Amino acid sequence: MSGRMLTVAATQFACDWDLNANLDKAEVAVREAAAKSAGLILLQELFATPYFCPDQKQDYFSLAAPLEGNPIVARFADLAKELSVVLPVSFFERANNAYYNSVAIADADGAVLGIYRKSHIPDGPGYQEKFYFNPGDTGFRAWDTAAGRIGVGICWDQWFPECARSMALMGAEILLYPTAIGSEPQDPSINSKDHWQRVMQGHAGANLTPLVASNRIGAEPNEAAEMTFYGHSFIADETGEKIEEADNRTATALVATFDLDAIRARRASWGLFRDRRPELYGPVLSLDGASMR
């Protein structure tokens, strides 16, 4: 007997300062994925603009907008409804005097279920996000959608096992990570692509939960550094095996299909969540590893 079958999609494309064209590219990617029967489609981080964070420019705060009445969120919520797909929408959010790197969850009926605000904010060469974004205050979340219960982290969140585990503990059946990652301006010899993938493959395997990561492609010039994004968006199964992967230059929509009920049964029988010992994990609640018990 077949269970709940879900086809998921990872997309990737290049962005520039033609902002309307970026939105059009995103719509093309969503439509391509939907034509391949995807019911849950992931777009990359901050897809409406180039990744502006290498530079610290006051003018870029004008790119942010509130959730209420947000034209980007509204456009893609309408698209989600038209295609009957679940669509997390990454956007630069302004909330009074706070600014967040956020994702709005558009369900398959076009309803916006709420938002997740990026919890971990990087600050390094090429990725000076602390200039623009407050640390997220939503906490990790899981969402009941037409595609099942999903969890969404954003880029730098994907390096933290606590994020993936929290979403899995809250019942997420699919882990999603919209991303913008590529070159390291301080050392051109660094290519983090394999490391980046292996960390997330570990999240999938450790939580017996499939995972989708969508990254951007292309070179984007900035005053501080030119960033070249390495793509390689991918889909991993519940063991962490990559079952679909893009290259570093092609705009595409990858799809894979999972039996969520079969994976749930496998997750239960493997015993990872049965044998957890939360009372021993106090050091995780501290910065220096001191037990908080």
Please tell me the predicted confidence (pLDDT) of residue 3: 87
Mean pLDDT for the stretch of residues 200-211? 98
Is the predicted pLDDT of residue 110 greater than 80, yes or no?
yes
Query: Band of the pLDDT at 293, cuts 50, 70, 90?
Result: low
pLDDT tens-digit series, residues 44-103: 999 999 999 999 999 999 999 999 999 999 999 999 999 999 999 999 999 999 999 999
Residues 6+ apart with CB under 8 A from 82: none
CA 213 – CA 209 distance, rounded (Å): 13
pLDDT tens-digit series, residues 15-43: 999 999 999 999 999 999 999 999 999 99
In the numeric block, which tokens belong to residue 252?
Answer: 């595409």
CA 108 to chain centre: 18
Is this prediction's pTM over 0.95? yes
Annotated catalytic residues are 45, 118, 155
Mean pLDDT of the chain: 97
Is the predicted pLDDT of residue 139 greater than 80, yes or no?
yes
The type of residue at 183 is S
Query: Band of the pLDDT at 290, cuts 50, 70, 90?
Result: confident
Element (H, E) at 83: helix 71-83
**Per DSSP, what are the bridge partners of residue 11?**
253
